[in-house]
């Protein structure tokens, strides 16, 4: 089943649930259709590692929910259906979140950095609320701190503004690392790219009104920084 076919089945299921709860067809007439479609939806979701958020095994269970007074009006039942299925449909449309260049599939070998980026990917795949998207930014920040602590050396990498970075000041540490390890004319563009990705990652980490796009851009920028530093440090050389 393709993504569009799966979404079509989900939307048909939602429409049927709304219809029976708002004066539409009799449950006994359409419940077999509902149960057959439920199996198809669950199979399609399982193929993608997703779960069906709909707890109603048949339409009689759905009837029991709304008739108990939980959703007394037609409008409240429609809202419930939207809240039940909209996040799932959005998740299917996004597909599996891919973060970072596919050129390098292997981890960097910095254990804390690799664990941090794994957490970023996992959270980006499942996030659906503003708070969860903000959490992606926080995880990106932690990954960059771990990266900076791996490569920054105070005696070699002097901060650009003369302020000694704290152990969690990833921006100053990585800026200093980039300035030293990518110094000179031949590295101008590489230096600009690394700084640009770092600036973007840092800016997006602090968005108070985070969306999926904010979180995805932050994750992608963070992955770009990690890969760039890994290349510069020699971690991506063939001997690794």
* Residue 26 belongs to domain spanning: 3-94
The H-assigned helical ranges of 72-129 are 74-94, 111-126
Q: What is the pLDDT of residues 48-88, one digit of tens each?
A: 777 888 999 999 999 999 999 989 999 999 999 988 888 88
Residue where one domain finishes, among candidates 51, 68, 94:
94
Token pair listed for 238: 């063939």
- Domain membership of residue 100 (yes or no) is no
pTM of the model: 0.58
- Domain membership of residue 102 (yes or no) is no
- Domain membership of residue 145 (yes or no) is yes
Smallest CA-to-CA distance from 99 within 128, 126, 133, 122 is with 122
Q: What is the pLDDT of residues 154-189, one digit of tens each?
A: 899 988 888 889 998 888 899 899 989 988 777 788
> Domain total for the chain?
2
Tell me how far CA of residue 199 lies from CA of 120, 170, 172, in angstroms: 18, 11, 11
162 & 207 share domain: yes
Residue 95 contacts by C-beta under 8 Å, 6 or more apart in sequence?
3
Q: Mean pLDDT over all residues of the chain?
A: 86
Residue 237 contacts by C-beta under 8 Å, 6 or more apart in sequence?
none
- Domain membership of residue 12 (yes or no) is yes
Residue 35 contacts by C-beta under 8 Å, 6 or more apart in sequence?
57, 58
Q: Are 163 and 172 in contact (CB under 8 A)?
A: yes
The three-class DSSP label of residue 108 is coil
Q: Report d(CA 161, CA 175) in Å as an integer.
A: 10
Residue written as token pair 């009006």: 73
Give the pLDDT score at 96.
55
Q: What is the pLDDT of residues 32-49, one digit of tens each?
A: 999 999 999 999 988 877
Q: Report d(CA 197, CA 218) in Å as an integer.
A: 9
Query: Which is higher by pLDDT, 206 or 192?
Result: 192
- Domain membership of residue 101 (yes or no) is no
């Amino acid at each position: 089943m393709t993504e569009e076919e799966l979404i079509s089945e989900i939307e048909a299921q939602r429409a049927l649930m709304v219809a029976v709860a708002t004066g539409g067809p009799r449950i006994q007439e359409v419940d077999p259709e509902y149960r057959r479609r439920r199996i198809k939806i669950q199979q399609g979701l399982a193929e993608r590692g997703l779960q069906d958020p709909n707890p109603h095994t048949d339409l009689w269970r759905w009837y029991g929910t709304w008739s108990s007074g939980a959703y007394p009006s037609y409008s409240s039942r429609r809202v419930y259906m939207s809240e039940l299925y909209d996040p799932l449909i959005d998740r299917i449309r996004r597909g599996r979140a891919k973060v970072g260049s596919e050129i390098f599939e292997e981890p960097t070998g910095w254990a804390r950095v690799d664990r941090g980026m794994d957490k970023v990917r996992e959270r980006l795949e499942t996030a659906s609320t503003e708070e969860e998207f903000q959490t992606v930014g926080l995880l990106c920040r932690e990954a960059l701190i771990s990266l900076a602590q791996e490569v920054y050396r105070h005696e070699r990498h002097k901060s650009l503004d003369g302020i000694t970075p704290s152990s969690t000041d990833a921006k100053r540490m990585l800026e200093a690392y980039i300035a030293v390890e990518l110094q000179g004319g031949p590295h101008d563009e590489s230096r600009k790219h690394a700084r640009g990705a770092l600036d973007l990652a840092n800016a997006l980490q602090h968005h108070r009104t985070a969306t999926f796009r904010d979180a995805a851009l932050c994750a992608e920028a963070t992955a770009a920084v990690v890969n760039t530093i890994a290349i510069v440090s020699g971690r991506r050389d063939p001997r690794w």
